[in-house]
């Protein structure tokens, strides 16, 4: 598989044809998409037109962007003007947004070719991509196993070679966990570094867009393109995109890497073994490993599953059959609301709406939602203390390798535990990324997670690049 940087360089200097690159990726999609189902929609015709335009620009001597001719897949919860955007939900089936998400606008401006919209857990609620209204996505390494979620389609598209890169969204680990399970790089940047304008909201204070790529350099390149201040997003940080590619060869000599001594239990032995190997590799490269504690990390899962559903119950109230989306006719307005939501939302989405509505209801707000916000503050304080003594922190990304389909669907708590190592970073708003680091049980990929403080992307990418070299 060609990497993003190689494609962009080749197309820019004329040694590669954007049209030929697109056809290669569409050919791979034709061969395996029917068994993997990474996409809800493959935009082949438009991709061919866009590729032809890039080739024409190169031939005429026009300057092309940093992603010229690169086929990129976009998670189907990011708005694409005139192209169906469903969030893998029946309630939005057929809806075509009248505008592009900011990240989509930036991709197009950089010369990227959007090759399709990827499958996800409905409204990004899940850890296995088994909750899509349009069927599950399968792991390209073993189609009997899940690709992770909620951005499972985006991770699988890169792992299968359907796209050179993809975009996903991460609310509690939805980029990093599928990246680990599919053996690709996945990045959740600092909250506010990448615009959320045009991202269909799940939990607005937690959601963040980030890249999936084959390697760390590609991830740095793509993140530089999609980052930067956006006046259309009130939570966007008012500063330029970070410089990341420039630090990848700096190494980790002199850096302090945190080892969390009070991690939650339940991590499989094969994953912990790879984590220890990662610590050894960083130590050999000149880093110092420092033991740290994060006492409140044990409460993260509980706090998250109050805060995220509470925000979801508010955000999803707009799907009422009146303004947009599908409608089920009924005798009166309230009956229409109920019938529309019953038909349009899947079981997991309904579960989280109910949890969130309960947590926000009179008499329970202070006992549940209010306390969860206080725990969120404790988590941020714990991280702040830890980062006084370390530059980055290393943990597992997922407690296990990819699991078999159906093995956790009857036990929501077991599914929620898949995100036990990724959720803390979302609550704190910090950056984190998953880097492939060997294999574990059943020869499936294992990912190691690199965490950094707010706007600590440069330190995070230095460590990620060193881990990649070691692996």
Choosing from 12, 89, 132, 150, the catalytic residue is 150
Choosing from 75, 106, 117, 462, the catalytic residue is 75
Determine whether 53 is an active site residue: no
Distance from C-alpha of 276 to C-alpha of 288, rounded to nearest angstrom = 14
Sign of the torsion angle spanned by Cα atoms 174, 34, 104, 81? negative
Distance from C-alpha of 55 to C-alpha of 295, rounded to nearest angstrom = 55
Is the CB of residue 154 less than 8 Å from the CB of residue 75?
yes
The two tokens of residue 351 are 């579960």
Determine whether 150 is an active site residue: yes
* Neighbouring C-beta atoms of residue 245, cutoff 10 Å: 18
Distance from C-alpha of 41 to C-alpha of 45, rounded to nearest angstrom = 11
Determine whether 75 is an active site residue: yes
* Neighbouring C-beta atoms of residue 33, cutoff 10 Å: 18
Is the CB of residue 290 less than 8 Å from the CB of residue 259?
yes
Choosing from 174, 227, 296, 313, the catalytic residue is 174
Which residues participate in catalysis according to the annotation?
A: 75, 150, 174
């Amino acid at each position: 598989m060609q990497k993003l940087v190689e494609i962009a360089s080749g197309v820019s200097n004329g040694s590669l044809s954007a049209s030929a690159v697109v056809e290669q990726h569409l050919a791979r999609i034709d061969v395996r998409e029917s068994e993997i189902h990474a996409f809800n929609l493959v935009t082949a015709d438009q991709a061919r037109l866009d590729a032809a335009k890039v080739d024409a620009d190169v031939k005429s001597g026009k300057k092309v962007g940093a992603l010229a001719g690169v086929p990129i897949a976009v998670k189907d919860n990011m708005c694409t003007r005139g192209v169906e955007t469903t969030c893998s939900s029946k309630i939005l089936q057929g809806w075509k947004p009248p505008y592009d998400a900011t990240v989509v606008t930036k991709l197009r401006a950089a010369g990227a070719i959007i090759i399709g919209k990827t499958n996800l857990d409905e409204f990004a609620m899940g850890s296995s991509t088994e909750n899509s209204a349009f069927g599950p996505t399968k792991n390209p390494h073993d189609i009997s196993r899940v690709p992770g979620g909620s951005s499972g389609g985006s991770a699988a598209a890169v792992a299968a070679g359907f796209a050179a890169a993809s975009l996903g969204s991460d609310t509690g680990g939805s980029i990093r966990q599928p990246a680990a399970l599919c053996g690709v790089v996945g990045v959740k940047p600092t909250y506010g570094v990448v615009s959320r304008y045009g991202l269909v909201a799940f939990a607005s204070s937690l959601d963040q867009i980030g890249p999936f790529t084959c390697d760390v350099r590609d991830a740095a390149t793509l993140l530089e393109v999609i980052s930067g201040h956006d006046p259309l997003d009130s939570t966007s940080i008012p500063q330029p995109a970070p410089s990341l590619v420039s630090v990848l060869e700096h190494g980790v000599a002199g850096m302090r890497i945190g080892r969390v001594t009070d991690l939650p239990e339940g991590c499989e032995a094969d994953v912990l073994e790879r984590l220890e190997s990662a610590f050894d590799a960083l130590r050999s490269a000149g880093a110092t490993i420092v033991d740290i504690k994060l006492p409140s990390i044990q409460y993260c899962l509980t706090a998250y599953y109050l805060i995220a559903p509470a925000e979801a119950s508010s955000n999803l109230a707009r799907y009422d059959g009146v303004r947009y989306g599908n409608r089920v006719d009924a005798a009166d307005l309230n009956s229409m609301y109920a019938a529309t939501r019953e038909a349009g939302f899947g079981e997991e989405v309904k579960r989280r709406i109910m949890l969130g509505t309960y947590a926000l209801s009179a008499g329970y707000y202070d006992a549940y939602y209010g306390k969860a916000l206080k725990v969120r503050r404790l988590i941020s304080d714990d991280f702040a203390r830890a980062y006084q003594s370390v530059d980055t922190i290393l943990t597992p990304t997922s407690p296990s390798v990819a699991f078999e389909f159906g093995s956790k669907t009857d036990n929501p708590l077991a599914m929620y535990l898949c995100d036990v190592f990724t959720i803390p970073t979302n609550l704190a708003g910090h950056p984190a990324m998953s880097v492939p680091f060997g294999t574990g049980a059943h020869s499936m990929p294992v990912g190691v997670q690199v965490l950094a403080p707010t706007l600590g992307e440069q330190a995070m990418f230095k460590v990620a690049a060193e881990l990649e070299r070691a692996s």
